[in-house]
Amino acid sequence: MNTTAPAFRLSHGDALIAVHVQNDFLPGGGLAVPDSAAIVPVLNDYIVLFVRQGLPVIATRDWHPPHHCSFRQQGGPWPSHCVGGSSGAEFSSGLALPENAWVVSQATRPDKEAYSSFEDTDLALILHDLGIRRLFIGGLAADYCVLNTVLDARRLGFDVVVLEDAVRAIDADSGDGRRSLHRMQAQGARFAVLKDFA
């Protein structure tokens, strides 16, 4: 992807969204994403940038009921993961979320999967109330919840910058992560890495 864009300057109307940096998606978790631990310190650097400028930080999380339809025991594609209230659903202890971070829970209905952090949540309302126009998005996994969150954000009219050094993919089919980045770009998302920030 293009990481040679001019430096980004953060300003009022920007927000950081950290998608699903939860124990079950990290090494040793119920649905561990390859190399997922590597994004935690990078996201922490982004959090520092946003907190210094008083800009909102939003953390989204899977918060599944115990018998969620996406689990293999219920005929779904995934092992049990991120059951609400469990240690696997907790944010990584290494993720330095500020005390005033917004937390958005998704996929909370037992009979419905939701890969986008906008689906059946109040995320869009929160962003509207905060006057947010541009989203900087990182997290897990690039080919599922990050992808669908980015696509919905674009559909809702937000400018989107994907933090390419702060996402990782499941890559259940080889190349899924790369194809997902291209899908985001095709819908108007831009890409950045930490060095692109002035």
Q: Where are the alpha helices (DSSP H) in the chain?
A: 39-52, 123-130, 145-155, 176-186
Could you say which DSSP state residue 189 is in? -
Beta strands in 37-114 (DSSP E): 57-62, 102-106
Q: Is the pLDDT of residue 191 over 90?
A: yes
**pLDDT value at position 19?**
98
pLDDT digits (tens, 9 = 90+) for 111-134: 999 999 999 999 999 999 999 999
Dihedral, 153, 158, 163, 169 alpha carbons, nearest 10:
10
pLDDT of residue 4 exceeding 60: no
Tell me the pLDDT tens digit for each residue of 81-96. Answer: 999 999 999 999 999 9
**Tens of pLDDT, residues 20-64:** 999 999 999 999 999 999 999 999 999 999 999 999 999 999 999
Q: What mean pLDDT is reported for the chain?
A: 95
Mention every residue, 6+ apart, whose C-beta is less than 8 A from residue 185. 1, 2, 191
Residues 6+ apart with CB under 8 A from 99: none
What is the C-alpha to C-alpha distance for residues 46 and 132, in angstroms, rounded to an integer? 17
**Angstrom distance (rounded) from CA 161 to CA 155:** 14
The band of 7, judged by pLDDT with boundaries at 50, 70 and 90, is confident
**Predicted pLDDT of residue 172:** 87
- Where does 14-196 sit in CATH, by number? 3.40.50.850
Could you state, in order of their start, the residue ranges of all structural domains in the chain? 14-196
